[in-house]
Amino acid sequence: MKTLAQLCPNVEDLNLNGCKKLTDTTCNAISRHCSKLQKLNLDSCAAITDNSLKALSDGCPNLTHINISWCSNITENGVEALARGCPRLRSFISKGCKHITSRAVICLARFCHQLEVVNLQGCNNIRDEAVQSLAEKCPRLHYLCLSGCSTLTDASLIALAQQCPLLSTLEVAGCSQFTDAAFQALARSCRYLEKMDLDECVLITDATLIHLAMGCPRIEYLTLSHCELITDEGIRHLSMSPCAAENLTVLELDNCPLVTDASLEHLTSCHNLQRVELYDCQLITRFGIRRLRNHLPNIKVHAYFAPVTPPPTAGGTRQRYCRCCVIL
């Protein structure tokens, strides 16, 4: 890689994804010889440290996209150096970097006002003040992943609603403290939302779906898996919305125990729906799925059914049975 950097000083896009033996020496060479570099993918380059980001901040001022996902040695110090030296950053992806803290994100927001894409999946040291800083300083933000940042509260989403009207993708799986109030604020302000992953946002109810139905006509992909308070009434409102009639293509409802065949009946009006996930929806039946397919013959429905456990025997003991699943 050192030789490549020396021989290709005009390189602008470099993908080193999965080069697990790559070290700081490579990034030092890139910094010295590749000043025109704009996009760098270091995903899963687990051996690199903060020294790599410090080198890039010195020698690659034109950097606009960087991916340091699963680089477990990267800390807030490296990110702060990168932010100061690369103010043109538009995309910052750091999935699984558990040592990145709120301080690092606040520094990114302070120096990199052009950020449009930020992925902090699994960075569970992020607090509300970091998201609030991103919202305040980076109004162009349109993609934000906070999945696994379980300490965040409604304050984060309300800040995004107030200051990031261009938001189109929001992934907050596992953010279990978010409530209907936060999503109501988003629905009122972020009308460009197209993809939302709310997996395991366990506090939300049908009220969230009612507000999304009214305020977000562009939604194409919606994940509500493990949102155990969602009922048929919420799905009814969603199915009557502009997004359902025109745009909704994927709906994931795994482990929504209150959802019944009535929801599938409501979804027959979603003419562009391509896929529905229904794993662990105990009140969904084969009959309900057949009716949905009669109306939407090209739809893919993923569900399973476990055979009913036999009743106890006359002696009062229950025999052991293998309960196999039928995958649809």
pLDDT one-digit tens code per residue, 250-281: 999 999 999 999 999 999 999 999 999 999 99
Instruction: Tell me the DSSP string of 46-111.
Output: TT--HHHHHHHHHH-TT--EEE-TT-TT--HHHHHHHHHH-TT--EEE-TT-TT-BHHHHHHHHHH
Residue 150 pLDDT greater than 90, yes or no: yes
pLDDT at 1: 65
Choose the weakest-confidence range: 169-178, 227-236, 284-293, 300-309.
300-309
Percent of the chain residues topping a pLDDT of 90: 88
Distance CA 106, CA 80 (A): 9
Burial class of residue 197, CB neighbours in 10 A (0-12, 13-18, 19+) = buried
Distance CA 136, CA 169 (A): 18
pLDDT at 5: 66
Q: What 3-state class would DSSP assign to 275?
A: strand
Residue 19 pLDDT greater than 50, yes or no: yes
Asked if domains 1-141 and 146-306 share a fold, the reply is yes
Beta bridge partners of 197: 171, 223
| pLDDT category of residue 228 using cuts at 50, 70 and 90 | very high
pLDDT at 8: 75
CB atoms within 10 A of CB 271: 11
pLDDT at 245: 87
Distance CA 65, CA 119 (A): 12
* Inter-residue contact 306 to 325 (CB < 8 Å): yes
pLDDT at 307: 57
Mean pLDDT of 213-242: 97
Q: Average per-residue pLDDT in the chain? A: 93
Please provide the CATH number assigned to the domain covering 1-141: 3.80.10.10
Burial class of residue 149, CB neighbours in 10 A (0-12, 13-18, 19+) = buried
Distance CA 277, CA 287 (A): 16
Mean pLDDT of 312-320: 43
pLDDT at 310: 52
| Domain assignments of the chain as residue spans, ordered by start | 1-141, 146-306
Identify the residue with better confidence: 291 or 324: 291
Q: Candidates 3.40.50.1580, 3.80.10.10, 3.30.420.40, 3.40.50.720; correct CATH number of 146-306? A: 3.80.10.10
Residue 326 pLDDT greater than 80, yes or no: no
